[in-house]
Structure 1
Amino acid sequence: MPSISTVSKGSIIRFKGEPHSIESLIHRTPGNLRAFYQANMKNLKTGRNVEYRFSSSETVDVIVTERKQYQYLYRDGSDFVMMDNNTFEQINVPEVALGEGANFMKDNINVTIVFSDDGSILQVELPTFVEVEVTDTNPASKDDRATSGTKPAIVETGAEVNVPMFIQIGSVIRVDTRTGEYIERVKK
């Protein structure tokens, strides 16, 4: 097994029997103590963030992964049906694999699915930004548009996003799929 020093951000390791994605990995050497690696990881099954200190000589089980491009077709109950862009094979992806990104799944959006060496789905990577249309929001009065506050808006995927007061129904906005935050209004 490889040493923790050979692992980098974005690697997927098996930690305590479950797959974890390395979010950050920092090498620290405090004073006259032994060096260690401070790792922030995300459990890919539960979505929880985990912090752990690895000793410099500790070994980890790196999971061999394969990334494939898929296109989202439709929702089937709690699963999302995706199609391989090369072979046109369809698979069902559970909502848990998408995490918070499930709120921003539009028809025909391309995603990257990360498979483990045993063929199971570890992670679904959405595009960083997605353009969605606002379907419902409170109308803004003239006074509201002068202030810099926000208001809740429902977008075409059903997600709720806080948007500036000047956004109206029918506006197309760009949203960060990682955080669910409004980025900008899209001019078309």
Structure 2
Amino acid sequence: MATLGDFRKGVKLEVDGRPYVVTEFQRGQKRGSVWAKLRELGSDEVIEKSFGADARLEFAEVEERSMQYLYPEGGGFVFMNTATGEELTVDSAVVGDAAKYLAEGSGVDVTLYKGRALTIGISSVVDLVIAETEPPTQGDGIKPATLETGAEIKVPLFVATGDKVKVDTHDGRYLERVS
């Protein structure tokens, strides 16, 4: 059971049967009230809500697991719990754009709520192999390249097929070649 005194940024609460994280809060001038801005876990929906002293609040039972990406399957992706070996299939809608940067064996953080995956967290920078690009040439330009995951990025002219590169997962930008 949560109380109004438990309100902090980042606290995960269950509101109307759905998991939310507190993004902002302010204690009311009236004693025993809190106004909060809450973001639903697993979506971008944001609500604002006031809570009185009589509010019945529950902490959301959210679990973070370190997992390893194994392979795509049907409309989802299979991950393995690195601690137990248990496998979990996550819907492609939950994985979203992270799929562009998931190579076999990639480590991820999976947020679960009542056994259901809500979000997939990947590193902000990943090392991936160039599966296909034009031969290297001289110059200061850029060229298209396809990563081992199938994602398309732009790379400098000196990068060749088979090179390992660092990629920013926020915007798909080439960062550097890895030796």
TM-score range, shorter chain: 0.7 to 0.9
- Cα distance in 1 for partners of 2:38, 2:145 equals 33
Partner of 1:30: none
Encode CA deviations 1:21-70: one digit per residue, 9 max, x unaligned: 56x6487xxxxxxxx76x584761xx4x4566666979786523111122
After TM superposition, the structure 1 = structure 2 runs for residues 88-99 of structure 1, keeping only pairs within 5 Å, are 88-99=85-96
In the alignment, which of 140, 150, 163 is matched to residue 146 of structure 1? 140
- Cα distance in 1 for partners of 2:176, 2:19 equals 35
CA contact (8 A) 1:2 1:62 kept: no
Structure 1 residue matching 2:9: 3-state secondary structure: coil
After TM superposition, the structure 1 = structure 2 runs for residues 27-176 of structure 1, keeping only pairs within 5 Å, are 41=39, 44=42, 47=43, 49-50=44-45, 62-116=59-113, 118-142=114-138, 145-147=139-141, 150-176=142-168
Query: Identity over aligned residues, as a percent?
Result: 26
Across the two proteins, how many residue pairs are aligned to each other? 171
- Give the letter for the 1:185 counterpart: R
Structure 2 residue matching 1:133: 3-state secondary structure: strand
- Give the letter for the 1:92 counterpart: T
Structure 2 residue matching 1:7: 3-state secondary structure: coil
- Cα distance in 1 for partners of 2:177, 2:136 equals 16
Identify if the C-alpha distance between structure 1 residues 55 and 185 changes in structure 2 by more than 3 Å, giving closer, same or farther: farther
Q: In the TM superposition, what is the alpha-carbon distance from 1:164 to its structure 2 partner? A: 2.4
Identify if the C-alpha distance between structure 1 residues 174 and 111 changes in structure 2 by more than 3 Å, giving closer, same or farther: same
Residue ranges of structure 1 left out of the alignment (5+ in a row): 28-35
- TM-score normalised according to structure 2 size: 0.73
- Cα distance in 2 for partners of 1:102, 1:4 equals 39
- TM-score normalised according to structure 1 size: 0.70
* C-alpha RMSD over aligned residues: 3.3
Encode CA deviations 1:141-163: one digit per residue, 9 max, x unaligned: 43xx234xx33211001011122
Q: In the TM superposition, what is the alpha-carbon distance from 1:6 to its structure 2 partner? A: 2.3
Partner of 1:31: none
Partner of 1:7: 8
